[in-house]
Amino acid sequence: MNDPNPISGTSNPYAPPSAAVGDITSPGLLEKASRLTRLGAALIDGIAGLVLVYGPLIALGGLGNAMASAQSGSANPFAIFQGAAGVGAIIGFVVFAAINFVLVQRNSQTIGKKLLNIKVVRTDGSHATLGRIFAMRNLPFWIASVIPFVNLIVGLVDPLMIFGSEQKCLHDRVADTIVVKA
């Protein structure tokens, strides 16, 4: 017989629970990332994307393809993506997306946020999931960016809201997130 309490033969009703409990940091203890640090992270993310996607286009002759297409009189807007240049750009985009996917899943960080030691969390201090970050924080703004005129308004209002007292952009408000020091 496997006795839970060898002294009395019964389980202890006063024992602490044995369930796994995740730590949640109080939002009052979190230190928000500065506006300048957030800007720096966004710039680093943009530069990383440019290098990984447009670097192969330049290095593998995509611009030459586009110029040759324009000189021949049949201006093809997709000529820049023909041949090795296009394949290189696609591979660069996949690498950029994969790196960001892994970083966001692990610790709610992009390349720039990782380098500047900041991360995204829920306003209650809990972990911001990959689904929340992409579906609520990024996707609505990617969709808005392809809608004429809406993209102008959202593209201006979203970053300007960081100058409010809460230091939260529009995408932070929509996703109920904040950016804090990691």
pLDDT beyond 90 at 85: no
**Percent residues over pLDDT 70 in the chain:** 79
Q: What is the mean pLDDT of residues 135-142?
A: 92
pLDDT beyond 60 at 27: no
Q: Quick one: pLDDT band at residue 15, thresholds 50, 70, 90?
A: confident
Q: Give the 3-state secondary structure of 42-97.
A: HHHHHHHHHHHHHHHHHHCCHHHHHHHHHHCCCCCCCHHHCHHHHHHHHHHHHHHH
pLDDT beyond 90 at 171: yes
Torsion of CA 132, 135, 136, 138, to 10 degrees: 110
Adjacent-strand bridge partners of 179: 120
Instruction: Return mean pLDDT, the chain.
Output: 85
Q: Which of 174, 40, 54, 163 is nearest to 113 (CA)?
A: 40
Q: Which amino acid is at 3?
A: D
pLDDT beyond 60 at 4: no
Distance set, CA 123 to CA 28, 35, 65 (Å): 10, 17, 49
Entry pTM: 0.74
Q: Which amino acid is at 63?
A: L
d(CA 133, CA 18): 31
pLDDT beyond 60 at 110: yes
Place of tokens 């899943």: 105
pLDDT 10s digits, 35-72: 999 999 999 999 999 999 989 888 877 666 666 666 77
Do the Cβ atoms of 181 and 117 come closer than 8 Å? yes
pLDDT beyond 70 at 109: yes
Q: What pLDDT is stored for residue 86 in this prediction?
A: 81
pLDDT beyond 80 at 156: yes
Q: What is the mean pLDDT of residues 20-45?
A: 81
